[in-house]
Amino acid sequence: MITLTVDGRTVEAKNGEMILSVLRREGIHVPTLCHMDGLPPSGACRMCVVEVEGSPTLTPSCSFPVSEGMKIKTATPRVLEARRTIVKLLLANHPDDCLYCNSNGHCDLQKLAQDLGIRERVYRGPRRVQEMDMSSPAIVRDPGKCILCGRCVRMCEEIQSVAAIDFIGRGSRAKIGTAFDGGLNVSSCVNCGQCINVCPTGALSERCYIDEVIQALNDPEKMVVVQHAPSVSVSLAEEFGLPAGKDVDGQMVAALRRLGFDRVFDTSFSADLTIMEEGSELVHRVKTGGTLPMMTSCSPGWIKFIETFYPQLLPNVSTCKSPQQMLGALIKSFFAEREGVDPANIVSVSIMPCTAKKFECARPEMARNHVPDVDYVLTTRELGRLLHQFGVDVNALEPSPADTPFGERSSAGKIFGATGGVMEAAIRSAHYLITGKELDDLKIQPLRGLKGCKELHIEIDGLKLGAAVVSGLGNARKLLDEVVAGRNDLQFIEIMTCPGGCINGGGQPKNVDPEAVQARLKALYKIDRDAPLRTSHSNPWIQRLYKEYLGEPLGEKSHHLLHTHYTMRNIPMAQG
């Protein structure tokens, strides 16, 4: 440890530690626009400059290491003026449309202008008129709002390893775009939305379908049903200023009914159904010498990733649809038949933590007889905006249960929202399917937590099972490379597109405290710990669905409704 002086007080730091990390640990706020925790500093925005005694120039704190006896000042007039000048220059050609921007109230540039007391436009530059990219069903790009911080590029390339976007051009003509400057729809983008979560302005946002949903709710000839994903109930509260991780499941159901939805279903139910199908598929593959390791198919960003970058491994992917699409298929088959409603007159909406779900529901494979299983997907953020628009306060409502027949779920289905949750739920049921007995301890600790890569090797009734869990596509790429190279000690692999899983999805609340994701994770585990029903196979409504309609897992009817196929995608030449 070394000693240095910050704003007149003595602090300790590790030798070689960056100034910025020391300042943050000491509770000193220094603004940044380009910095991303966990990645090497780029030092591009210069917002984090400080004065270091003996240096004639201002020092970027994110990329300058501390040294013994260093004296630092973080808020001198010179430092503050430098930061103000940077923001003024960024505002010189920035659109004046904050009132209409999705990031209004969550914009780093807006907050910096407020914090630094900038109340007028000092510099005026020519506005860059750039066409918005509306080609993707999931993500909208507005280059006019881009400040070239590079966060989205780093997220896409260094963390997700997709590299769908990069810097194009030089000098004043520099911008961020795709290969050949085409639309996102013809790029290698997997629609994960992690770029949206790190964008400091409104240059990136999800494709919004709120107006279409409102129109459907007001159509008397339509039955409008909604499903909500496992992780939404532990993240929606943040859109209403409530603590991160607060579970508002019952209040959210009541709020959705207040909006006018005819039925409110829980996607955790179809997560249980996924386990029955996926677990049965795994056992079948292991016992019959099928293609291994089998890989999960719940995360649509991951599916597009493997279709694009590892098509040779597509036979390893489970044929199961995701829980969203399984429930969508049942709504427009079993539920429609039971209610005597034409599936074409049902509008199926889902509330998801994921922008890639918007892409998934538009896939042609997910539309039987040209009728999509799911019509519209709203993110957690969009649901928050919709509820605010209708004046519905989640916190003020009495809890209400979801509707049958798709409202009763096990906690195994609920923990699908966290990385490792699918695997944990699958092993619980696989153990039962193989042995006829429940696991002694349903909590499988090695699969829990936010670590990017986790492994478990167990033996069930003489059957050896090697399992791996990865979240974040950069971690997935490393494991897939090992599989391609010949690794053969794994039978089952769970892959989540987003780091941490759905609790950190591309459609979750933005600009939250870093501890928020951990709080959401803990909330899901608490729900599981306290639940009376903790295994998917013991869900009585799942058992009834098979008995009355589907027959058996992997049977003819379930295969027709709940399974699908995936195909290779081409990569643009510049990214190949």
In the set 53, 365, 515, 556, the catalytic residue is 365
Q: Which is catalytic among the residues 51, 206, 277, 278?
A: 278
**Catalytic residue check, 281:** yes
Of 270, 318, 410, 536, which one is the catalytic site residue?
Answer: 318
Residue 502 falls in the annotated catalytic set: yes
What 8-state DSSP symbol labels residue 570? Answer: P
Residue 455 bears catalytic tag: no
CA 371 to chain centre: 27
> What amino acid is encoded at 230 in this protein?
P
How many angstroms separate the CA atoms of 404 and 11, rounded? 59
State the catalytic residue, choosing from 502, 510, 536, 558: 502
| Residue 485 to residue 504: CA distance in whole angstroms | 30
Contact 189, 178 (CB under 8 A): yes
Dist CA 502 CA 523 (whole Å): 13
Query: What is the token pair recorded at 432?
Result: 């039962």
Whether residue 88 lies in the annotated active site: no
Residues in the chain: 576
Using alpha carbons, select from 426, 401, 417, 355 the residue that is nearest to residue 160: 355
Tokens of 193: 């939305």
Largest CA distance in the chain: 80
Two structure tokens written together for 528: 């599981």
Inter-residue contact 31 to 115 (CB < 8 Å) = yes
State the catalytic residue, choosing from 238, 239, 281, 494: 281
Q: Catalytic annotation on 67?
A: no
* CA atoms of 538 and 532, how far apart (whole Å): 11
What does the alpha-carbon distance between residue 222 and residue 207 come to, in Å, rounded to a whole number? 23
Residue 486 backbone class (left: φ over 0; alpha: ψ -120 to 50; beta: rest): left
Catalytic residue (choose from 238, 360, 408, 494): 360
First CA to last CA distance, the chain: 46
Mark whether 278 is an active-site residue.
Answer: yes
Q: Is 424 a catalytic residue?
A: no
- Cα-Cα-Cα-Cα torsion 484, 486, 489, 490, nearest 10 degrees, comes to 10
State the CB neighbour count (10 A cutoff) for residue 517.
Answer: 22
Point out the catalytic residue in the list 357, 358, 454, 510. 357
Inter-helix orientation angle 380-389/210-217, to 10°: 50
Whether 298 sits among the annotated catalytic residues: the reply is yes
Q: How far is Cα 23 from Cα 305, in angstroms, rounded to an integer?
A: 38
Selection from 124, 20, 123, 34 nearest residue 74 by Cα? 20
- The span from the CA of 296 to the CA of 281, in Å, is 11
**Choosing from 48, 298, 354, 361, which is the catalytic residue?**
298
Q: Which of 96, 161, 113 is CA-nearest to residue 310?
A: 161
Dihedral through CA 557, CA 563, CA 287, CA 547, nearest 10? -30
Active site residues: 278, 281, 298, 318, 357, 360, 365, 502
